[in-house]
Amino acid sequence: MVRIFVLASTYSQAQRLAALFEEDERIEVIGTADAARFRATRKTPLADVLLVSGHTPDAVAEAEVPVVLLSDRELDENPLSKTVRACLPEQSSAAEIAAAITAASADLMVLTDAQARQWLRPGLARDTGRTFMESLTARELQVLRMLADGLSNKEIAPELGISDHTVKFHVAQILAKLGVGSRTEAVRLAIRRGLVPI
């Protein structure tokens, strides 16, 4: 069970957030506070994760445990740090917040799709499926579509009349151009961007 301390701009907001987890057997709320009360004590006794809602930079900066931040503020810079392990919109569901809390307690980071595009690969957020398609050669696009059909390198080679080694080269180029680490990620991204039919 993950023990959390809930901190929000107002005490009533902290209480509302805590109520989301009353029936969740994976999470135990061990305390709540508003920003003023928290600044006075600066303690999160026995908490595994600090759930913070609203703009409370002091609490986040001085946290001694992983932080899950709920904020609707436009964040130009990536807020993830040694302590901030997740940043979700305030209107996130209880299930989404619980998943982020569980991940943070396991020392994992959580990003929304939009955050990942904005903060992890600058410029990617501005790219479109068309840009991806234009960056791939016609042959790479053929190989990508065959990967999406589940074909292996050995199966792709005779279909295109090229060697296994050449297929491997094309796959490596596709991964590099799409900025992904595996064939599965490449296919997933290609489907999302409309490069390959489902």
* Domains of the chain, each with CATH number or no CATH: 2-119 (3.40.50.2300), 127-192 (1.10.10.10)
Confidence of residue 12 (pLDDT cuts 50, 70, 90): very high
pLDDT score recorded for residue 74: 58
pLDDT score recorded for residue 130: 45
Structure tokens given for 148: 């999406």
The count of other CB atoms within 10 Å of the CB of residue 31 is: 18
Give φ, ψ of 136 to 5 degrees: -90, 140
Q: Which residues pair with 67 in a beta bridge?
A: 50, 84
One-letter amino acid at 167 equals V
Give, for 8, the enclosing helix (H) or strand (E): strand 2-8
pLDDT in tens, 40-78: 666 556 899 999 997 666 666 667 889 898 987 655 455
pLDDT at position 17 over 60: yes
pLDDT in tens, 72-127: 765 545 566 667 888 888 888 999 999 999 999 998 888 777 777 666 654 444 44
Closest CA to 172 of 164, 127, 131: 164
